[in-house]
Structure 1
Amino acid sequence: MSSGVIASFEYATQQMAIYMNLSNLIIGIPGGLLNIIVFLSLKTFRESTCAFYLVIVSFANLGQLINGALIRLLISGYGIDWTISSRFSCKLRSFLSQYLSLISFTCLCLATIDQYFATSSRVRWQQWSNIKVVRILSIITVIFWALFSIFYAVYYDIVTSTSTNKTVCTNTNADFDLYNSYFQRNVLQGFLPNLLTAFFAVLAYLNTRNLAYRTVPLVRREHDKQLTQMLLVQVIVNFFSLLAYNIISIVIPNVLKSTDPLVLAKARFVQILSYSSYYFYTAWPFLIYVCVSERFRRQLAYVLVVKYLQHCPKFAFVGNQVVPDT
């Protein structure tokens, strides 16, 4: 009876890993590319400091889906682990996993802070929302986290377990493993960005409610409202998807110490569930933007139909009815 239950949990774990990660890839990769196309195609976004950060976030999220969700799909769903094929692949994936996620979290935090400054009624704070500051902070972010993530390339290596005889790509330094488990994973990639983005997204939203009483151009006012709304909903979705991952990450190491096979099977199921749901924040931004912003939907239609499809002979037509809302 127990062996049948264990087998059922193992099968459920495999199927969940396949369908959740496959869904993340199907939704996230086209969505991320469309986000980048829209943000880079329209002048209103190219001149926006907040959108500049969101472009970087979109690129980082695409990298995470390929380096994270795709690899997780192959490992947990089909037992294909290319990270143990060579030390280089092991170290490269470990480096990219941390590097891309830290860039994504940091730039999303900076985007919410920048949007708070941009919508502030204080001129002094508005001055911090300018493209020069954004470019400097982006360069610092990219370089700093690249140097920081080198530690993962150094300490991660291919190891064969003496008890299970399984070869895995894992951390080989005990002290660094404690840091990674309790600070990096739960603070830098969890509670800290969650709290910062939620705090500044709410403040920016409160600022936009007062824009009608300020002498702000209508186009700028609508643009700020749009970006703030998009960010606020994205932050709420991120908060819950990452919160579950962080809580499980704290609890699961102690459960995995159990010698009961049934307990281990259940823990493995929960662990893979948390790993798969972790990538929701990289896969869902496009759907969030489309669902919450009518203006973004018009901009998307304008970019795809007017700026691109009309240049193709098969789709060229006269009398386009899509109103550009750039």
Structure 2
Amino acid sequence: MINNSSTDFVISLKYNHLSQQFTKYFGVILYIVCFFGTMMNVLTFMQRTYQRRACTLYLLVASICDLIHLNFGPLSNILQYGFDYDWTINSNAFCKLKSYIVFVFTVLSATLTTIASADRYVLSSRKTARWKLSTRSIALRCILFSIVFWIVFAIPVIFCSIRLNHSSHNEQLICSNSSQQISCLLLQIIYTCIFNGFLPPLVMLYFGILTCTNARHLRHRTLSASARIRQINYQLTLMLILQTIKSSFASLPFSVFNCYLLITLNLKKSPLYQAKENLVNQVVYLLFWSNYTSFFVYVYSSDIFRYQCLRAIKKLTCRFYRGQQRQLYYHRSELRYLTANASIIEEKYKPSQIL
């Protein structure tokens, strides 16, 4: 028994070390990729070509939410599990605030992306009365309502988030939902498994299937529009359909495993079993991050998006180059002025003679 328990302990340490190294190296690379892609989404959807469409307005705000979430959720996870650095500053108040922000922006991004999928279905519908729902004014109202709704609805997260010991990490304190009380357990099931897991990809799949069904009608209906508008609408629909498929593969394993953790919460588990669970948890959590790689899906599926992306990069490069040139011009002008008026300046600031 002693040999078996000691062997299990050694193996559990190896699993924990593997989990830490996996989070440290793969997590850092994935964070950089997601951060770059999200930034490019924001810059691209701000281009004039996309500004008048309700769908891209949803995707723009969703990308901004992703950018905020990346720096509160995944980044803290990398620092916590990969580098043993707790950035909650040993404060329960900061832990509660961080958990609240992470949940609000995560679920808000998923909500807006789902509404964008519904918007594509509305535009592909044969009922012309539905087309009026796809306008910027209605999009702004939906975005505002979603923000207010989730800010209010997520308040219970604050009360259930505390710092607790994590048995798979040498009793290290982490910021999480304790799930000890029935109310917090139900909250974890509703928020993590449903709102952040099953519901968004399933709803997006539903609207994606309906949009594909109406795709032929969409092409016939848009023949009266210009070729440019027809191409933009078609490629936006394709972008969201591919994003829906990717989100399903990314979110569903995360939801299933979290449901499993909640079901087996009160079961006694050995350190080795907990170490294996922790490794799987880190893998599905990092897989969930692939929701924030939508930029590469958009680049692959839309040549208009690629063109607008390159255009955004060129604009940034030109602004940076012009700023450097302007600063260099000011320095040269100042140098020429000092050189031309050296004698006057020297006489003006010459120390007075003491008689």
Cα deviations across residues 108-138 of structure 1 (Å, max 9, x unaligned)? 1110011111232321010111111111111
Q: Which amino acid aligns with 1:208?
A: A
Cα distance change on mapping 1:206 and 1:218 into 2, 3 Å: farther
Residues 46-57 of structure 1: matches in 2 within 5 Å?
A: 46-57=51-62
| 1:211 equivalent in alignment to 2:221 | no
Are the counterparts in 2 of residues 84 and 158 from structure 1 also a CA contact under 8 Å?
no
> 1:85 aligns to what SS in structure 2?
coil
Q: Quickly say closer, same or farther: Cα 1:14–1:161, change in 2 above 3 A.
A: closer
CA shift, 1:299, in A, is 1.8
Q: CA offsets per residue over residues 197-256 of structure 1, 9 Å max, x none?
A: 111123223333333322233222111111111111111111011111011111134556
Deviates more, 1:76-85 or 1:140-149: 76-85
Structure 1 residues 190 and 171: alpha-carbon distance in aligned structure 2, compared to 1, 3 A threshold? closer
Pick the aligned partner of 2:277 from 267, 289, 292: 267
The corresponding residue for 1:238 is 247
SS in 2 for 1:105: helix
CA distance in 1, matches of 2:269, 2:257: 19
Distance 1:161 1:66, change over 3 A: closer
Q: What secondary structure does 2:46 align onto?
A: helix
CA shift digits 1:150-188 (9 cap, x unpaired): 2112332335699x8654434366123221232221111
Deviation at 1:259, TM superposition (A): 3.3
Greater radius of gyration (CA): 2
1:169-184 residue pairs with structure 2 within 5 A?
169-171=175-177, 174-184=181-191
d(CA) in 2 for partners of 1:265 and 1:303?
45
Question: Which sections of structure 2, spanning at least 5 residues, go unmatched?
Answer: 1-6, 326-355
Amino acid at match of 2:283: L
Task: Point out the more displaced range, 203-212 or 235-244.
Answer: 203-212
Mapped contact 2:177–2:188 kept (Cα < 8 A): no
Q: Is the 8 A contact 1:17 1:77 kept in 2?
A: yes
Q: Contact between 2:185 and 2:262, CA under 8 Å: does it hold in 1?
A: no
Letter in 1 for 2:132: Q
* TM-score computed with the length of structure 1 as normaliser: 0.88
2 CA distance for matches of 1:60 and 1:225?
A: 25
Task: Give the counterpart of 2:75 among 63, 67, 70.
Answer: 70
Name the CA distance, whole Å, in 2 between partners of 1:232 and 1:147: 30
**Residue in 1 aligned with 2:353?**
none
- Whether 1:194 and 2:201 are equivalent positions in the alignment is yes
**C-alpha contact 1:20 1:277 (8 A) present in aligned 2:** no
CA distance in 1, matches of 2:171, 2:37: 40
Tell me how far 1:18 sits from its aligned partner.
Answer: 1.5
Q: What is aligned with 2:312? A: 303
Q: Does the Cα contact within 8 Å between 1:197 and 1:235 map onto a contact in 2?
A: yes
Q: Secondary structure at the match of 1:128?
A: coil
Which structure 1 residue ranges, 4+ long, deviate > 6 Å from structure 2?
none
Worse overlay, 192-201 or 246-255: 246-255
Among 42, 47, 58, which residue is 2:63 paired with?
A: 58
Q: Secondary structure at the match of 1:67?
A: coil
Structure 1, unaligned runs of 5 or more: 317-326
1:9 match: 15
Contact 2:254 2:285 in 1 (8 A): yes
CA distance in 2, matches of 1:25, 1:259: 32
Cα shift at 1:87? 2.3
Residue 129 of structure 1: SS of its match in structure 2? coil
Cα distance between partner residues in 2 of 1:5 and 1:171: 28
RMSD: 2.4
Identity among equivalent pairs (%): 25
Tell me, yes or no, if the aligned pair for 1:5 and 1:262 is still in contact at 8 Å: yes
SS of the aligned residue for 2:158 comes to: helix
Partner of 2:140 in structure 1?
A: 135
1:51, distance to aligned residue in structure 2 (A): 0.2
**Corresponding residue of 1:85:** 90
Please state how far the C-alpha of 1:21 moved relative to its aligned partner.
Answer: 2.1
**Cα distance in 1 for residues equivalent to 2:324 and 2:231:** 31
Distance 2:263 2:90 in 1: 29
Residue pair 1:82, 1:89 contacting (<8 A) in 2 also: no
- 3-state SS, counterpart of residue 85 of structure 2: coil
Indicate if the aligned counterparts of 1:54 and 1:108 stay in contact, CA closer than 8 A. Answer: yes
